[in-house]
């Protein structure tokens, strides 16, 4: 048995988000010399709604490779969704400074960094954890172009169609500044460098993240937020996971045509008032309750 190959596979599986629990099973299957084998995995997150199948195959040279994994996610009250995610080797990308100039090493050669655009298990789950509208969350990944340059894109599954292999196509988005969007809100976690970094990292991985909102009078309340690069917004939810606010689109955003804006302007205003309350903080419930009592003649 090739112990180096087993160690490589175990490391690859671990950093794709499957932990260490499969290492012994990998060793057993490699020792048996099978042409290919599959391993099942049930993650701790997802409340039991996610299951993954990892695919391994032996090359003509005798080494095994972790080629892909299939993920099945069952959204609440919906049919299961299945998607295959390829596991790709890391590629070198040219390093550039803040002025976009190539960084050179001591010998005058361009410096490079290894990038891997394979989706981790948690990122894949976030993309498939669809909401009531049938949409998953977006994930930010670094890609390497044919020219060896780094390209950073947001990725989101399109559940309206499938390709010839039964997979949902991935839509990509750019020109979306998550940090700039977050700065529009009084989020307490943005007040420290560590808090800001942790929040950005979590949202970029596609998580719906809990944050603390701070009012001018010092009152604090909780919200959950997620990145929405497709519409250049921040999605915000209250404790009951109801949408509370959609931020204003960036100036010059061309994602919606002018004709759509004219035809749907009035409809959007009515729809937003019905489905997404403007977020005025924790006093909203008190105001609504008070108004209700007055209408019923209760003092």
Express each pLDDT in 18-61 by its tens digit: 999 999 999 999 999 999 999 999 999 988 899 999 999 999 99
- 250 in a structural domain: yes
Residue 44: its H or E element: none
The total domain count for the chain is 2
- 30 in a structural domain: yes
Say yes or no: 125 and 41 in one domain.
Answer: yes
Say yes or no: 143 and 190 in one domain.
Answer: no
Q: 289 or 149, which is more confident?
A: 149
Say yes or no: 204 and 237 in one domain.
Answer: yes
- Evaluate the CA torsion angle 161, 163, 167, 173 in order and state its sign: negative
pLDDT digits (tens, 9 = 90+) for 247-260: 433 333 333 333 33
Say yes or no: 224 and 166 in one domain.
Answer: no
Say yes or no: 218 and 131 in one domain.
Answer: no
Can you give the residue range of the structural domain that contains 22?
1-174
- 280 in a structural domain: no
Q: What is the pTM of this model?
A: 0.80
Mean of pLDDT values over 180-192 = 96
- Indicate the average pLDDT of the chain: 84
For residue 281, the model assigns a pLDDT of: 65
The answer on pLDDT for 141 being more than 60 is yes
What's the CA gap between 72 and 82, in Å, rounded? 4
What's the CA gap between 66 and 26, in Å, rounded? 10
The percentage of the chain sitting over the pLDDT mark of 90, rounded to a whole number, equals: 71
- 273 in a structural domain: no
């Amino acid at each position: 048995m090739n112990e180096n190959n087993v160690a490589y596979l175990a490391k690859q599986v671990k950093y794709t988000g499957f932990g260490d629990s499969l290492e012994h099973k990998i060793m057993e299957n490699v020792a048996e010399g099978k042409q290919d084998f599959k391993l099942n995995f049930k993650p701790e997150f997802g409340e039991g709604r996610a299951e993954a199948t990892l695919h391994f195959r032996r090359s003509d040279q005798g080494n095994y490779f972790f080629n892909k994994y299939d993920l099945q996610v069952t959204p609440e009250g919906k049919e299961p969704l299945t998607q295959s995610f390829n596991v790709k080797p890391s590629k070198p990308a040219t390093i550039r400074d803040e002025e976009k100039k190539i960084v050179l090493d001591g010998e005058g050669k361009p410096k490079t960094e290894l990038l891997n655009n394979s989706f981790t298990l948690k990122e894949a789950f976030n993309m498939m954890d669809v909401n009531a509208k049938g949409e998953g969350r977006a994930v930010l990944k670094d890609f390497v172009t044919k020219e060896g340059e780094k390209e950073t894109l947001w990725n989101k599954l399109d559940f309206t169609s499938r390709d010839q292999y039964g997979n949902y196509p991935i839509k990509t988005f750019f020109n979306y500044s998550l940090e700039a969007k977050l700065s529009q809100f009084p989020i307490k976690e943005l007040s420290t460098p560590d808090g800001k970094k942790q929040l950005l990292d979590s949202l970029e991985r596609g998580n719906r993240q809990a944050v603390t909102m701070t009012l001018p009078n010092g009152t604090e309340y909780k919200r959950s937020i997620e990145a929405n690069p497709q519409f250049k917004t921040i999605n915000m939810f209250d404790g009951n996971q109801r949408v509370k606010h959609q931020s204003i689109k960036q100036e010059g955003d061309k994602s919606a045509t002018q004709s759509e804006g004219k035809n749907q302007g009035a409809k959007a205003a009515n729809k937003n008032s019905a489905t997404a309350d403007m977020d005025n903080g924790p006093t909203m419930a008190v105001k609504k309750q008070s108004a209700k009592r007055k209408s019923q003649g209760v003092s």
